[in-house]
Chains A and B, each alone.
Chain A
Amino acid sequence: MNVTVEGKPTANRKGAVDQPKPRQRLVVIGNGMAPGRALERLFEQAPDAYEVTIFNAEPRVNYDRIMLSPLLSGEKSFEQIVIHGDGWYVKHGVTLYKGATVTQIDRAAKTVTTARGITVPYDKLLIATGSLPIIIPVPGHKLAGVLSYRDLDDVQAMLLAAKSRGHAVVIGGGLLGLEAAVGLKEQGMDVTVVHLAPTLMERQLDTPAGHLLQRAIEARGIRILTGANTKAILGEKKVEAVLLEDGTRLVADLVIMAVGIRPNAQIAKDAGLTVNRGIVVDTSMRSSDPEIYAVGECAEAHGQVFGLVAPLYEMASVIAQQLAGDATAAFQPSALATKLKVTGINLFSAGDFAEGRDREEIVLRDAARGVYKRLILKDDKLIGAVLYGDTADGAWLFDMIKKAKPVDAMRDTLIFGPSYAGGSPLDPTAAVAALPDEAEICGCNGVCKGKITAAINTLGLKSLDDVRAHTKASASCGSCTGLVEQLLTISLGDTYNPTAVQPMCGCTTLGHDDVRRLIVARTLQTIPDLMQALEWKTSCGCAKCRPALNYYMIATWPDTYKDDGQSRFINERVHANIQKDGTYSVVPRMWGGVTSAKELRAIADIVEKFEIPTVKCTGGQRIDMLGVKKEDLLAVWADLNKAGMVSGAAYAKGLRTVKTCVGTDWCRFGTQDSTGLGVKLEKFLWGSWTPAKLKLAVSGCPRNCAEATCKDIGVICVDSGYDVHFAGAAGLDIKGTELLGHVTTEAETIEVIAALTQLYREQGRYLERIYKWAKRVGLETIRQQIMADVERRKALYDRFVLSQSFSQKDPWAERVGGHDAHEFAPMADLTRLEAAE
C-alpha cells in the first residue's frame, strides 16, 4: 500500500532478500517530465540496475507540464495530465519524497540533504531542478495577485482568481503568456496581454505570422498591447492595476508574469559544480563532477539552455543510456519545432527563420483563408519554416530541416507540401503517407512514423487511444493527433473511424465524456445553461440527452442542483415502474432481503385493499406488487410508509438491491455476517443515483449462494475478510465479476464499495453499466485508484458521503406529503360533466 505523507517516503522497495546483488543508488532531485522520461527509459533498458530515490519539491506525482494550458482552459483535468501515478513508483520500487526540497549536495560524502534534514546517500546523482520563472523586479511585483505560470499551484491560483470574473493582465506575449491569456479568457476573465516586442511570439514567429496571430487572439476578445513596457504594478494590499511606461493604467485583479524562465541551478552552484546560465554538462550529460548528471531546463549543453520538451526528452534518453552502461550515448541538439496549444489556432515554426544575406525565402500567402507559409533556405537546404493557418506539412518540413538534404529538385513545389510534389491531389493523408519512416510525428514524446505504423500493424491497434497507450504518440500536447489519425487511416483503411466519439444524441456533436468534463470546467449548473453554453441544436433537448444531463448535473452538483422531474423517465418521475397497460408496479425496500411478519402483513393488507392483481418475488430478494393504478400510488405508499417501508427504487438508475445469503447467523459454512453486511451496505448506499442501475450481493462463503459474482458489485466473505468484486453482468451480457481487492474489515469493505460507486458515478456515461465502464476505462486503473491510492479512495468516499447527505430521502414519503401532486391526479374529469347530460 502506498502511503503519501509529506516529507515521508511513499515506498515499496524491493527488499534485499530477493535482490542479492547490491544495486547502485540513484538519487534524483526533481520530478518533472525530463527525469520522468529518463527513469522510464532506464527501467526499460536496465530495470534492476538502480535503487532510485526521487525528491520532489512539489507535493505530487509527475505530471505533464505541457498540458497546464488545457488544464487552465478547462479542457483537461489533473488526472488526465498525470504521467506517472503513484502505482508507477510502487511498480518500479522507486522511493518518492513528495513536497521535499533538497537544500544541499555533499559531493565528498556523496549525500543529499533536504530542508527537513533527511540525508540520503547516492552513487549517481541526477539534478533535474528545472527552471524558475523570471519575475521583472518592477515596483509591486511582490503584491498578492501577481503570479507566474509554471506549475500546478500557479494554475490552481489562477483558476481561483478567475472565479471573480475580473480583470487579468498577462505580462509577456510569448508561448506561455498567450496560452495563459486564452485560458483565463475561457474562464470568464477580461484579459489584456502586455508585450514588450512589436509582435507576438517574436522568438518563434516572424513578423507577418505574429500579426496574423495577434488578429486571431484579438478576435477572441483579448486585448493586446505590443511595444508596451511595464513600469509598475499598483495596489495597496493586493494588485489593483498595472502601470505602463507610456502612462497607461490597466485595471487588474490578477497579473501573470510570463516573460521567460531561467535555469534553477543554485544547488549545483552551491555544491561547486560548473554553472554558467545552467549546469554545464558534456555530451554524456555529466556535470563537472562525473558522478553527477543534469537534465532538463536546469542543464546547459553545447552552450545552450533548452525550454521545449523535445530536446529535454533527447537529453533524458542519453542519460538513461549512460546510466544503463552505454558510454557512447551523446546529446546533440537538433532543430526545434514549436506549436501553440490554443484550440482553433494552427501555428507551427521550426528551425532558424531569421533573415540574412545568405538566406533565401519562399513565401505563400492566402489572406482570405488566413494562411501564411514561409520557408527559409540556406545553401540549397531548408533551415527554417513558419506555418500559420495550415500546418499540415509541418512534420514533413521539420523532417527536411533535420535531415538537411538539398532541395534543388523540389524547390518549385516545396511550399505546396509533399502531396503536390508527388503530383497527387492535395490530400492530407497522402502527405502523411509520403513521409519517411523516420519522420518525427510526436515531438513531445519523440515518436517517429515508423514506430507508430509498426505498432498499429504488429499489435493490431485500432484507435487513437490504442496508439497513445502503446507509443505515447499524441498523448502529451495532442497537437499531432491529426497526423496520428491519418497514420491509422493509412494503415487500417476504412476500418478506422476517426469520428469514433459518439455524440450523446442528435442535439449535439459532443460525446458524453466531453459533456461531463465541460459541466465541471465551465461550471454549468442547470440544463438550460448547459444547452446554451454548449450550443445545443434543439431548444430543449430530447428524451435521450435530457435524462443523461439531469443525471450528470445531480452527480456533479449534489448540494445545489434542483432535480428536473421533466427530464426524468416516467419511472423515476413517479417512483414506480410503468407496465405495458399503463399501470405501475410497487417494490418496497427489504434491507438485505430481510423482512418481518409486520411488513408481510402490511403488504398482504395493501394487496387486498387496492385489489392488486399480482404479487411476486423479484430476483433481488423483495416483493413486487404489480398492476397498481396510478391514482392509487399515493395511498399504497402511505400504507407502506406506515409499516416502516420505503421505496425500493426498483425503477431507478441508482442503487437497487443488496442480495445476501444468511451467513454466520445460520449457515454452517458461513465465514462472516453476510446478511448484516448486506443490510449495512444497503442502508449506506440507498438513494444514490448512478449512471445505470446498480445491484449488489454479499455471499457468506465462496459457495456464493447470493450469486455475488455476476453482480455490479459483489462481496465474497472468506475467513480472512472480504473479497470485493465488481463489473459482473447477468442480463443482455453474461459476465463473471473481476476482483477489485481484498480487505479485512466490514468498515473497509463499505469504504471501498462507496469509493468505487463514486468513481463510477463520476466517470460512467449515462446508461453505461459498471462492467461496460470498467471495460472502457480499464480494470487496472480502477484498482489503482480504489485499492492502491488510499488518499484518492478517501476523497471519493468523502464525495459520496456528501452526495448521500442530499439524496437519502424517501421519495414515497415526500409524495405522500404533497410533493409533485400534479403527477398523481387528473387535471379535469369531463366524464362527470357528460354523465350529467
Chain B
Amino acid sequence: MSAMKGWIDIGAVVDIPMLGARVVKSAVGCIAIFRTEADEVFAIDDKCPHKAGPLSQGIVHGRAVTCPLHNWVISLESGAAQGADSGQVRTYRLKVEKGRILLDGATLAASHAA
C-alpha cells in the first residue's frame, strides 16, 4: 500500500467548476471533491447518510451541498447533516499546491482499513 501513503495528486482545482464537484473513484467508493465560491476545495464521501444519494450531483452553496435526492444539506467541512437532519459522512484531508489538489493517502488508507 505504499502508493497510498503520502499525498496523491488527483487533478487541478480548475478541473472542478466553481460551486461544483467532481468524483474520484477509489477502492473505498466514490469520493466527491467540491470547489466553493471562495475557491476552497473539500473532499467527502459521495454518499448521503440519508439514502446514499450522490452528493457530488447536488447544488453547492457556502460550505455545504444539498443532496439531489431529498434535499439534505451536508457540511463540506465536517461532513455532518445540517438543520433538523442528523447523519455524518466521512471527510478526507487534502491540500492545494500550485493549483493541484493533493489527497491525503493516509486518510484514504485509514478509511480503507476501517
Q: Does A565 contact B (CB under 8 A)?
A: yes
Separation of A541 and B73 alpha carbons in the complex (Å): 13
- Is there contact, CB below 8 Å, between A822 and B61? no
* Nearest Cβ on chain A to B112's Cβ, whole angstroms: 8
Produce 1/0 per residue, B30-65, CB < 8 A to A.
100100011000000000000111100111111000
Interface positions, chain A 537-568, Cβ under 8 Å from B, are: 538-543, 546-547, 565-568
- 20 A-B pairs within 8 Å (CB atoms) are namely A538-B62, A540-B62, A542-B62, A543-B61, A543-B66, A543-B71, A566-B17, A566-B59, A569-B68, A573-B57, A578-B68, A578-B69, A827-B15, A827-B24, A827-B33, A829-B24, A830-B26, A830-B108, A834-B27, A837-B3
Give chain B's interface secondary structure class: mixed
| Given known contacts A543-B58, A826-B24, A580 and B18 CB-to-CB distance under 8 angstroms | no
Contact of A541 among B53, B58, B61 (CB under 8 A): B61
Contact in complex: A540, B11 (CB < 8 Å): no
User: How many positions in chain A have a CB within 8 Å of any CB in the partner chain?
Assistant: 31
Judge whether A836 is part of the interface by a CB distance below 8 angstroms: yes
For A571, list chain B residues within 8 Å (CB): 68
Q: Which residue of B lies closest to A833 (CB)?
A: B3
Give chain A's interface residues, CB within 8 Å of chain B.
538-543, 546-547, 565-571, 573-574, 578, 580, 582, 822, 826-831, 833-834, 836-837
Q: Which residue of B lies closest to A541 (CB)?
A: B61
Number of B positions contacting A (CB below 8 A): 39
The distance in angstroms between the C-alpha atoms of A543 and B2, with both chains bound, is 41
Residue of A540, A547, A569, A826 contacting most chain B CB atoms (<10 Å): A826
Known: A580-B51, A829-B24, A830-B26. 17 other contacts (CB 8 A): A539-B62, A543-B71, A546-B59, A570-B68, A578-B54, A582-B53, A822-B16, A826-B22, A826-B24, A826-B30, A827-B10, A827-B22, A830-B8, A830-B25, A830-B27, A837-B2, A837-B3
Cross-chain pair count, CB within 8 angstroms: 98
Identify B3's interface contact among A538, A540, A567, A836, CB under 8 A.
A836
A4–B12 CA distance with the chains assembled, in angstroms: 61
A837 touches B1 (CB 8 A): yes
Determine chain A's interface SS by DSSP, over half rule. mixed
Distance in Å: Cβ of B69 to nearest Cβ of chain A: 7
- A570 CB contacts on chain B under 8 angstroms: 57-58, 68
Q: Which residues of chain B come closer than 8 Å to A539, judged between CB atoms?
A: 37-38, 62
Interface, chain B (partner A; CB < 8 A)? 1-4, 8, 10-11, 15-20, 22-27, 30, 33, 37-38, 51-54, 57-62, 66, 68-69, 71, 73, 108
Which one of A546, A829, A837 lies within 8 Å of B61 (CB-CB)?
A: A546
How many Å from the CB of B103 to the closest CB on chain A? 8
A828/B10 contact (C-beta < 8 A), A567-B59, A834-B26, A834-B27 known: yes
A774 → chain B closest CB, angstroms: 27
Q: A569-B68, A827-B10, A828-B25 are in contact. Are A540 and B51 (CB under 8 A)?
A: no
- Nearest CB of chain B from residue A493's CB, rounded to whole Å: 31
Residues of A within 8 A of B33 (CB): 827
B38 proximity list for chain A (CB < 8 A): 539
Q: Which residues of A lie under 8 Å from residue B51 when comparing CB positions?
A: 580
Which of A566, A568, A827 has its CB near the most chain B CB atoms (within 10 A)? A827
Q: Roughly how many angstroms separate A549 CA and B69 CA in the complex, as a whole number?
A: 21
| Interfacial chain B residues near A830, Cβ < 8 Å | 8, 10, 24-27, 108
Choose from A543, A574, A822, A827 the contact partner of B59 (Cβ within 8 Å): A543
A628 CB to nearest chain B CB (Å) = 14
Shortest CB-to-CB span from B54 to chain A, Å, is: 4
Q: Which residues of B contact A538 (CB under 8 A)?
A: 61-62
Task: Determine the chain A residues whose CB is within 8 A of the CB of B57 once the complex forms.
Answer: 570, 573-574, 578, 582
For A578, the closest partner residue in chain B by CB is B68
Q: What are the residues of chain B within 8 A of A573 when measuring CB–CB? A: 57
Known: A822-B16, A836-B3. A829 touches B58 (CB 8 A): no
Q: Provide the residues of chain B in CB contact with A836, threshold 8 Å.
A: 3
Interface centre among B2, B20, B25 (most CB of A within 10 A): B25
Cα distance A567–B59 in the bound complex, in angstroms: 7
